[in-house]
Amino acid sequence: MKSDFEELDDETRKFMLQEFDIEQSSINPYISPRLSDIGKKIFPELMKKAIISGDAESLETSLRRQDYWKEKEVYTRNGVTKERIINYQQASEQLAFSEFNTWYVRGLSKKLLTKGIEKCQVYRVKDAKWEPGDCSSHEGQIVDTKIIYDGHRAKYWPVINKSAFSIPAQAGCHHSIRRVR
Ligand SMILES: [Zn+2]
Q: Where are the domains of the chain?
A: 10-179
174 CA → ligand 1 middle, Å: 5
**Partners of residue 35 on adjacent β-strands:** 69
Q: Does 1 score more than 70 pLDDT?
A: no
pLDDT in tens, 61-120: 999 999 999 999 999 899 999 999 999 999 999 999 999 999 999 999 999 999 999 999
- With a cut of 80, say whether residue 34 has pLDDT above it: yes
What is the pTM (predicted TM-score) of this model? 0.95
What is the Å distance from ligand 1's center to 163 Cα?
Answer: 15
Query: Residue 27 Cα, ligand 1 centroid: separation in angstroms?
Result: 29
Q: Rounded to the nearest whole angstrom, what is the distance from the C-alpha of residue 166 to the centroid of ligand 1?
A: 9
Distance 173 CA to ligand 1 centre (A): 4
What pLDDT, on a 0 to 100 scale, did the predictor assign at position 136? 86
* Rounded distance from Cα 152 to ligand 1 centre (Å): 14
CA 139–ligand 1 middle distance (angstroms): 7
Over range 154-162, report the average pLDDT.
Answer: 93
The values of phi and psi at residue 57, to 5°, are -70, -40
Asked if residue 127 lies in contact with residue 174, where contact means CB atoms within 8 angstroms, the answer is yes
Q: pLDDT tier at 130 (50, 70, 90 boundaries)?
A: confident
In this predicted structure, the answer to whether residue 132 has a pLDDT above a threshold of 90 is: no
Angle at CA of residue 143, ends 141 and 146, nearest 5° = 155
Question: Ligand 1 centre and the CA of 130: distance in Å?
Answer: 11
Compute, in angstroms, the gap from residue 134 CA to the centroid of ligand 1: 7
Give the pLDDT score at 134. 81
In angstroms, what is the span from residue 125 Cα to ligand 1's centroid?
A: 10
Residue 169: pLDDT above 80? yes
pLDDT-based confidence at 127, cuts 50/70/90?
confident
